[in-house]
Protein backbone atom coordinates (compact mmCIF):
# COMPACT_ATOMS: atom_id res chain seq x y z
CA UNK A 1 0.00 0.00 0.00
CA UNK A 2 1.81 3.15 -1.12
CA UNK A 3 1.77 5.99 1.36
CA UNK A 4 1.63 9.45 -0.16
CA UNK A 5 3.61 11.43 2.37
CA UNK A 6 4.10 14.64 0.45
CA UNK A 7 1.18 15.50 -1.77
CA UNK A 8 2.93 17.37 -4.59
CA UNK A 9 6.11 15.32 -4.67
CA UNK A 10 6.76 12.47 -7.02
CA UNK A 11 7.10 9.18 -5.16
CA UNK A 12 10.21 7.22 -6.13
CA UNK A 13 10.24 3.46 -6.62
CA UNK A 14 10.49 1.23 -3.59
CA UNK A 15 13.82 -0.56 -3.28
CA UNK A 16 14.04 -3.86 -1.39
CA UNK A 17 16.90 -4.86 0.90
CA UNK A 18 16.73 -8.67 1.03
CA UNK A 19 16.67 -10.40 4.41
CA UNK A 20 19.98 -10.41 6.34
CA UNK A 21 21.69 -7.98 3.94
CA UNK A 22 22.55 -4.31 3.60
CA UNK A 23 23.21 -1.49 1.17
CA UNK A 24 24.66 2.01 0.93
CA UNK A 25 23.64 5.00 -1.18
CA UNK A 26 23.82 8.77 -1.40
CA UNK A 27 21.07 10.96 0.03
CA UNK A 28 21.22 14.61 -0.98
CA UNK A 29 20.42 17.50 1.36
CA UNK A 30 16.66 18.06 1.32
CA UNK A 31 15.79 14.54 0.16
CA UNK A 32 13.73 12.36 2.48
CA UNK A 33 14.48 8.71 3.13
CA UNK A 34 11.45 6.57 3.94
CA UNK A 35 12.32 3.29 5.65
CA UNK A 36 9.47 0.78 5.48
CA UNK A 37 8.94 -2.48 7.38
CA UNK A 38 6.96 -4.36 4.71
CA UNK A 39 5.97 -7.40 6.76
CA UNK A 40 6.23 -6.11 10.34
CA UNK A 41 8.61 -6.83 13.25
CA UNK A 42 11.78 -6.21 11.21
CA UNK A 43 14.67 -3.94 12.23
CA UNK A 44 16.75 -1.77 9.84
CA UNK A 45 20.09 -0.40 11.06
CA UNK A 46 20.77 3.08 9.64
CA UNK A 47 24.13 4.88 9.43
CA UNK A 48 24.91 8.32 8.02
CA UNK A 49 28.21 9.93 7.00
CA UNK A 50 28.83 13.41 5.64
CA UNK A 51 29.32 12.79 1.91
CA UNK A 52 31.92 15.57 1.73
CA UNK A 53 33.95 14.37 4.74
CA UNK A 54 33.32 10.88 6.08
CA UNK A 55 35.06 11.73 9.35
CA UNK A 56 31.74 13.36 10.23
CA UNK A 57 29.40 10.56 11.26
CA UNK A 58 26.08 9.97 12.98
CA UNK A 59 26.47 10.06 16.78
CA UNK A 60 24.22 8.35 19.29
CA UNK A 61 25.88 10.19 22.16
CA UNK A 62 25.42 13.67 20.72
CA UNK A 63 21.86 12.91 19.63
CA UNK A 64 20.69 11.52 22.97
CA UNK A 65 22.45 14.34 24.80
CA UNK A 66 20.54 16.98 22.85
CA UNK A 67 17.23 15.06 22.74
CA UNK A 68 17.27 14.38 26.50
CA UNK A 69 15.34 11.17 25.90
CA UNK A 70 16.14 7.84 24.26
CA UNK A 71 12.98 6.98 22.32
CA UNK A 72 13.41 9.20 19.29
CA UNK A 73 10.46 9.96 17.02
CA UNK A 74 8.92 12.67 14.82
CA UNK A 75 10.42 16.05 15.64
CA UNK A 76 13.72 14.62 16.87
CA UNK A 77 16.96 15.21 14.98
CA UNK A 78 19.92 12.89 14.50
CA UNK A 79 23.24 14.69 15.11
CA UNK A 80 26.78 14.07 13.96
CA UNK A 81 29.93 13.79 16.08
CA UNK A 82 30.43 17.49 15.20
CA UNK A 83 27.01 18.45 16.58
CA UNK A 84 25.51 19.17 13.17
CA UNK A 85 22.04 17.88 12.30
CA UNK A 86 22.33 15.07 9.74
CA UNK A 87 18.74 13.82 9.62
CA UNK A 88 15.41 15.16 10.81
CA UNK A 89 12.67 12.63 11.65
CA UNK A 90 9.68 14.07 9.79
CA UNK A 91 7.27 11.09 9.94
CA UNK A 92 7.05 8.15 12.29
CA UNK A 93 4.07 5.83 12.62
CA UNK A 94 5.86 3.41 14.99
CA UNK A 95 7.42 5.55 17.72
CA UNK A 96 9.85 2.93 18.97
CA UNK A 97 13.39 2.75 17.65
CA UNK A 98 16.77 2.13 19.29
CA UNK A 99 19.88 4.31 19.33
CA UNK A 100 21.81 2.54 22.11
CA UNK A 101 23.11 -0.68 20.57
CA UNK A 102 25.76 -1.42 17.96
CA UNK A 103 25.03 -3.29 14.72
CA UNK A 104 24.86 -7.07 15.21
CA UNK A 105 28.09 -8.77 14.14
CA UNK A 106 29.99 -12.06 14.00
CA UNK A 107 31.12 -11.43 17.58
CA UNK A 108 27.70 -10.53 18.94
CA UNK A 109 26.34 -13.72 17.36
CA UNK A 110 28.98 -15.74 19.23
CA UNK A 111 28.05 -13.88 22.46
CA UNK A 112 24.25 -14.11 22.30
CA UNK A 113 23.65 -17.14 20.06
CA UNK A 114 26.47 -19.62 20.81
CA UNK A 115 24.42 -22.52 19.43
CA UNK A 116 23.73 -20.85 16.06
CA UNK A 117 26.01 -20.54 13.07
CA UNK A 118 27.53 -17.04 13.44
CA UNK A 119 26.48 -14.48 10.85
CA UNK A 120 28.42 -11.34 9.91
CA UNK A 121 25.27 -9.44 10.75
CA UNK A 122 24.47 -5.80 10.11
CA UNK A 123 28.06 -4.88 10.94
CA UNK A 124 29.52 -7.07 8.20
CA UNK A 125 26.82 -6.05 5.74
CA UNK A 126 27.40 -2.35 6.44
CA UNK A 127 31.18 -2.73 6.20
CA UNK A 128 30.90 -4.31 2.74
CA UNK A 129 28.32 -1.78 1.51
CA UNK A 130 30.29 1.24 2.76
CA UNK A 131 33.70 0.07 1.54
CA UNK A 132 33.25 1.55 -1.98
CA UNK A 133 32.73 4.95 -0.29
CA UNK A 134 36.09 4.70 1.49
CA UNK A 135 34.52 3.96 4.86
CA UNK A 136 36.27 1.16 6.73
CA UNK A 137 34.75 -1.19 9.30
CA UNK A 138 36.44 0.52 12.26
CA UNK A 139 34.51 3.72 11.50
CA UNK A 140 31.11 2.09 12.00
CA UNK A 141 29.48 3.61 15.11
CA UNK A 142 26.26 2.86 16.99
CA UNK A 143 23.53 2.75 14.34
CA UNK A 144 20.08 4.31 14.52
CA UNK A 145 18.12 1.07 14.63
CA UNK A 146 14.79 1.72 12.94
CA UNK A 147 11.95 -0.31 14.52
CA UNK A 148 14.24 -1.95 17.13
CA UNK A 149 12.44 -2.31 20.44
CA UNK A 150 14.81 -1.93 23.40
CA UNK A 151 12.86 -1.02 26.52
CA UNK A 152 14.93 0.23 29.46
CA UNK A 153 14.01 -0.29 33.11
CA UNK A 154 14.10 3.24 34.47
CA UNK A 155 15.31 2.23 37.93
CA UNK A 156 17.93 -0.42 37.18
CA UNK A 157 18.86 0.67 33.65
CA UNK A 158 18.52 -2.92 32.48
CA UNK A 159 17.98 -3.32 28.75
CA UNK A 160 15.86 -5.89 26.98
CA UNK A 161 15.57 -6.63 23.27
CA UNK A 162 11.94 -7.39 22.39
CA UNK A 163 10.22 -7.92 19.04
CA UNK A 164 9.56 -4.66 17.17
CA UNK A 165 6.11 -3.14 17.57
CA UNK A 166 6.09 -2.19 13.86
CA UNK A 167 3.34 -3.70 11.73
CA UNK A 168 3.36 -4.52 8.02
CA UNK A 169 3.75 -1.35 6.00
CA UNK A 170 4.81 0.89 8.87
CA UNK A 171 7.45 3.49 8.11
CA UNK A 172 9.72 6.21 9.42
CA UNK A 173 10.79 9.17 7.25
CA UNK A 174 14.05 11.09 7.72
CA UNK A 175 14.98 14.26 5.83
CA UNK A 176 18.67 14.87 5.07
CA UNK A 177 20.03 18.14 6.42
CA UNK A 178 23.36 17.70 4.57
CA UNK A 179 24.60 15.58 1.67
CA UNK A 180 24.96 12.09 3.13
CA UNK A 181 26.16 8.58 2.50
CA UNK A 182 23.61 6.26 4.08
CA UNK A 183 24.12 2.65 5.18
CA UNK A 184 20.94 0.62 5.69
CA UNK A 185 20.27 -3.03 6.53
CA UNK A 186 17.64 -5.66 7.04
CA UNK A 187 18.85 -6.86 10.43
CA UNK A 188 20.15 -10.40 10.89
CA UNK A 189 19.79 -10.99 14.66
CA UNK A 190 16.97 -13.37 15.74
CA UNK A 191 15.91 -11.64 18.96
CA UNK A 192 15.74 -8.17 17.39
CA UNK A 193 13.29 -9.32 14.72
CA UNK A 194 10.80 -11.55 16.51
CA UNK A 195 12.72 -14.69 15.50
CA UNK A 196 12.34 -14.41 11.72
CA UNK A 197 14.23 -12.52 9.01
CA UNK A 198 12.34 -10.28 6.61
CA UNK A 199 13.31 -7.73 3.95
CA UNK A 200 13.29 -3.96 4.44
CA UNK A 201 11.95 -1.51 1.87
CA UNK A 202 12.99 2.08 1.33
CA UNK A 203 12.42 4.90 -1.08
CA UNK A 204 13.68 8.45 -1.50
CA UNK A 205 11.51 11.52 -1.87
CA UNK A 206 13.04 14.37 -3.87
CA UNK A 207 13.87 17.66 -2.19
CA UNK A 208 10.87 19.92 -2.08
CA UNK A 209 11.05 22.62 -4.73
CA UNK A 210 9.22 25.91 -4.24
ZN1 LIG B 1 21.39 -6.37 12.96
Residue at 183 is within a domain:
yes
> How much distance in Å is there from the Cα of 119 to the middle of ligand 1?
10
> How much distance in Å is there from the Cα of 191 to the middle of ligand 1?
10
> How much distance in Å is there from the Cα of 45 to the middle of ligand 1?
6
Which stretches does DSSP call E strand in the chain? 15-17, 22-27, 32-37, 44-50, 77-79, 85-92, 144-146, 170-176, 180-185, 200-205
Q: Contact, 33 vs 176, CB < 8 A? A: yes
> How much distance in Å is there from the Cα of 127 to the middle of ligand 1?
12
> How much distance in Å is there from the Cα of 133 to the middle of ligand 1?
21
Tell me what the mean pLDDT of segment 45-72 comes to: 98
CA angle 81, 82, 83 (to 5 degrees): 90
Query: What is the structure's pLDDT at 208?
Result: 81
**Per-residue pLDDT tens for 163-207?**
999 999 999 999 999 999 999 999 999 999 999 999 999 999 999
> How much distance in Å is there from the Cα of 104 to the middle of ligand 1?
4
CB neighbours of residue 1 within 10 Å: 5
> How much distance in Å is there from the Cα of 81 to the middle of ligand 1?
22
> How much distance in Å is there from the Cα of 210 to the middle of ligand 1?
39
Residue at 9 is within a domain:
no
**Per-residue pLDDT tens for 135-160?**
999 999 999 999 999 999 999 999 99
> How much distance in Å is there from the Cα of 153 to the middle of ligand 1?
22
> How much distance in Å is there from the Cα of 139 to the middle of ligand 1?
17
> How much distance in Å is there from the Cα of 146 to the middle of ligand 1?
10
* Residue 56 domain boundaries: 15-205
Residue at 10 is within a domain:
no
**Per-residue pLDDT tens for 68-98?**
999 999 999 999 999 999 999 999 999 999 9
Q: Provide the 3-class DSSP secondary structure of residue 69.
A: coil
> How much distance in Å is there from the Cα of 97 to the middle of ligand 1?
13
- Any residues with CB less than 8 A from the CB of 61 and at least 6 apart, and which? none
Residue at 8 is within a domain:
no
What global pTM score does this model have?
Answer: 0.92
> How much distance in Å is there from the Cα of 140 to the middle of ligand 1?
13
> How much distance in Å is there from the Cα of 26 to the middle of ligand 1?
21
Residue at 210 is within a domain:
no
Residue at 38 is within a domain:
yes
The total number of structural domains in the chain stands at: 1
Please determine, for residue 37, whether its predicted confidence score (pLDDT) is greater than 60: yes
Residue at 3 is within a domain:
no
Residue at 135 is within a domain:
yes
Amino acid sequence: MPVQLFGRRQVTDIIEIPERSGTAFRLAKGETLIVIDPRGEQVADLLAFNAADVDEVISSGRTLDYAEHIYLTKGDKLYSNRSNVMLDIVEDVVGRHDFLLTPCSFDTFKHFYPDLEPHRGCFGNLAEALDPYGIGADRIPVAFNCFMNVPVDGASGRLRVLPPISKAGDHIALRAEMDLIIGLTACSAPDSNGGTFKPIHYRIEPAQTR
